[in-house]
Structure 1
Amino acid sequence: MRKARPGRGREASAALSFVVLIGVLSLFADMTYEGARGIYGPFLATFGVSGALVGFVSGLGELAGYGVRLLSGYLSSRTGRYWLITGVGYVVNLLAAPLLALAGDWQLAAALIVLERIGKGLRNPPRDAMLSHAGTVIGQGWAFALREALDQTGALVGPLAVAAILYLGGSYHLAFAFLAVPAAVSLLVLLQARLRYPNPRSMERTGEAFAQKNVGSRLPAAFWTYLGAMMLVALGYADFGLISFHLASETSGSLIPILYAVAMAVAGASALLFGRWFDRGGMPVLTLAVVISAFFAPLAFLGGTGAAAAGVVLWGVGMGIQDSLMSAPVAGMIPAARRAYAYGVFSACYGVAWFVGSWLLGVLYDHSVMGLVAFSVVVQLLAVPVLLATRRAAGG
């Protein structure tokens, strides 16, 4: 797979500025919904639900969020209305989290959790397609990693703010209400980005990427092989809702969002490190990241608080890769006009795997924590040979 050469001059400056602005948008958005996600598990636990239900709700949210990306990606590529679809997604995503302050039963809470994921799903394919245009100038790994690093800065601050509210005696409902503030800021930044960059496609540097050799109507074999590998990773990856549900019986409630904040900080740092490295080393870099993060489950579910903290760190490495670097290889396989559609297909299949895995892991948790750990580790490691096959299929 060929990499885009780093750009110079005004072209590179404009591309970098666009990525940073989208990153700032993501920063405040993540303050909102990641601040909420850090307490989904213990919040649902206040209604007396089971681990299987927590896993089901978390998985259903991911399924709905990833599934709607198929429609979002298709419509974005078909209509070219990237900003409109991105904007609708952000509005839904950012309103659902603060509205949890009004949830008085688990059913409403679950519905809002799923709605928040749907909003995120709507916005991601067109947003990632716009980022990929800038990535042809400054490097795909770096473009996605830089956005992710800013994104995870917000994902660090949001849970810490929620932890402070809980530590000072505030309720979960008050914590959710506070998240309306960063949500409003994020929507203002979204408006600014739309006004400054009405046509991000104009940044696309043609003739450099591997994608230009694959302009037919079919998605290439390398895409499907890579998708299979990442579906295996998703199948074995526990949502933090289940981890936090487990930790609720092991440690204090205010510590859980702090651990989540640590995971988000690690995710941002690992995205920067592996993103820049990916532009130089390609698929082996992503494969190494998968191997490292695959061992989060034994630490998070079988040890004490210290081991759980280490497990959350490894979990953060994996999330940083899945939320950023996972998108970079797709940009190198697909031509610009079909990239949003490819992201939608990729995300829909990935989301199905995440849902099935989350539900299975929740059921395993209720019956055998050791079984959960074994399933998680083995399935993720099975992705390694498939990733290596992707490299061969892509010719890189």
Structure 2
Amino acid sequence: MKPARTTSAVPEPSDGPARGLSAWRFVVVFGGVSLLMDFVYEGARSVTGPLLAHLGASAAVVGVVTGAGEAAALGLRLVSGPLADRSRRFWTWTIAGYVLTAATVPVLGLTGVLWAACTLVIAERVGKAVRSPAKDTLLSHATAATGRGRGFAVHEAMDQVGALVGPLTVAGILALTGDDYAPALGVLALPGAAAVALLLWLRARVPDPIGYEITIGAAVPGEPPPAGSRETKLPRAFWAYAVFTAATLTGFATFGVLSYHLVVRHLMPTAMVPVLYAAAMAADAVAALATGWLYDRFGAQVLVVLPLLSAAVPALAFTDTVGVAVAGALVWGAAVGVQESTLRATVADLVPVGRRATAYGVFAGIMGAAALVGGALAGVLYDISVPLLIGVVAGIQTAALVLLWVTRAVRRGM
């Protein structure tokens, strides 16, 4: 399937919907907000596995907690997405989610109790659930003028600048303090505060970003359709791609399990794990930009790369050879880049503007359930047998490829 609209020939409004911000400037400033917040939560996530292991967690506990965190980040959007659509308070939801994450992360390094650390890991992900459907809806308005794939890809690439700097900062502080997590995570309060301040400024400049879509004729103003009307139903193509995406995530390991393997098998010191995570985020950015550009040219068929990358991750990352395990982490980062950019662009093209936050919430809820299964499955199978884990994931991703072919056939038949 190709995107519903090609925007390269569509003139972008010179002044934007409010106070002189063009669509590209809106995307870039919003990318700056995400850059700062990724500095915060990706810095923390880069050491989640080692931190929980330090507090006495097993691989299964790490897998369940990190999987539950992703499930919270994705599954709770089933609630926040429809609520954002009904209230139309997209900025309020976005700001609240960012504030929750910014407040939670610095406290994580202060706790010395496993259950408290597990709770904070999940709470940080709840902040992402609160903001993401509304944030993606705001961003989708501007990408109507910039090109869906390119707009989401540039935003994701800027995300990953923060996701690279954050883990490197944490790694440097851990190296200086002898693996003391309190100062390493406490310093992340600074970029968190800066992200919230920049977001408030952006809201003041562009209070209603739907103006970008209205200006180019991609949307018309108005309220969401009444509950129970045919217009409230999400398209069949949306459901088809949601099922495909769920399959790819069911066989996708979390970085928490990957980093647990590296530390427990003594392949890498704890202070180097955030450095590897930063490299994986760089791979994320490159993959996002590449697939975003290809998406605008060729459509959702570029998603064929996702099951291939996901299948390669455990085969590489769970070896006892450092170089191969590092390559597996980089492949993991590339797969995340596709998930975080091209999949979001696809949803924006498949769903009308009035139901977009709901669609993002439902889509993320399905992904969250799959992420919980995937994280737990990876952790449990890792404790049993690494070859079994590799084989199971390969089988799941083969099924995902078949699902992608089927869903594309369904789309063509509609």
Q: TM-score, length-normalised on structure 2?
A: 0.91
* Distance in 2 between residues matched to 1:69 and 1:81, nearest whole Å: 15
- Whether 1:329 and 2:346 are equivalent positions in the alignment is yes
* Distance in 2 between residues matched to 1:241 and 1:189, nearest whole Å: 30
**How far is 1:207 from its partner?**
5.5
Q: Quick check: 193-202 or 6-15, which moved more? A: 6-15
Match of 2:231 in 1: 216
Describe the shift of the 1:8–1:241 C-alpha distance in structure 2 as closer, same or farther (beyond 3 A): same
Q: Which residue type is aligned with residue 38 of structure 2? A: D
**1:361-380, CA deviations, whole angstroms, 9 ceiling, x for partnerless residues?**
11111111111122222212
Q: Which residue type is aligned with residue 198 of structure 1? A: P
Aligned ranges for residues 162-181 of structure 1 at < 5 Å?
Answer: 162-170=170-178, 171-181=180-190
Aligned ranges for residues 157-306 of structure 1 at < 5 Å?
Answer: 157-170=165-178, 171-205=180-214, 216-249=231-264, 250-306=267-323
* Distance in 1 between residues matched to 2:311 and 2:34, nearest whole Å: 26
**How far is 1:63 from its partner?**
1.2
* Distance in 2 between residues matched to 1:130 and 1:81, nearest whole Å: 10
Q: Which residue type is aligned with residue 368 of structure 1? A: S
Aligned ranges for residues 121-136 of structure 1 at < 5 Å?
Answer: 121-136=129-144
* Distance in 1 between residues matched to 2:328 and 2:375, nearest whole Å: 17
Q: Which residue type is aligned with residue 237 of structure 1? A: F
**How far is 1:65 from its partner?**
1.5
* Distance in 1 between residues matched to 2:397 and 2:130, nearest whole Å: 27
Match of 2:71 in 1: 63
**How far is 1:135 from its partner?**
1.6
Q: Which runs of 5+ in 1 are unaligned?
A: none
**How far is 1:67 from its partner?**
1.5
Q: Which runs of 5+ in 2 are unaligned?
A: 220-228
Match of 1:15 in 2: 23
Q: CA RMSD in A?
A: 1.7
1:315 to 332, 335, 360: 332
Aligned ranges for residues 91-110 of structure 1 at < 5 Å?
Answer: 91-110=99-118
CA contact (8 A) 1:297 1:373 kept: yes
Q: Which residue type is aligned with residue 311 of structure 2? A: A
CA contact (8 A) 1:4 1:137 kept: no
Q: Percent identity?
A: 42
Describe the shift of the 1:351–1:254 C-alpha distance in structure 2 as closer, same or farther (beyond 3 A): same
CA contact (8 A) 1:30 1:151 kept: yes
Match of 1:48 in 2: 56
* Distance in 1 between residues matched to 2:412 and 2:148, nearest whole Å: 18
Q: TM-score, length-normalised on structure 1?
A: 0.95
Q: Equivalent residue of 2:350, what SS?
A: coil
CA contact (8 A) 2:248 2:310 kept: no
* Distance in 1 between residues matched to 2:172 and 2:407, nearest whole Å: 44
**How far is 1:223 from its partner?**
0.8
**How far is 1:216 from its partner?**
2.2
**How far is 1:46 from its partner?**
0.8
CA contact (8 A) 1:283 1:387 kept: no
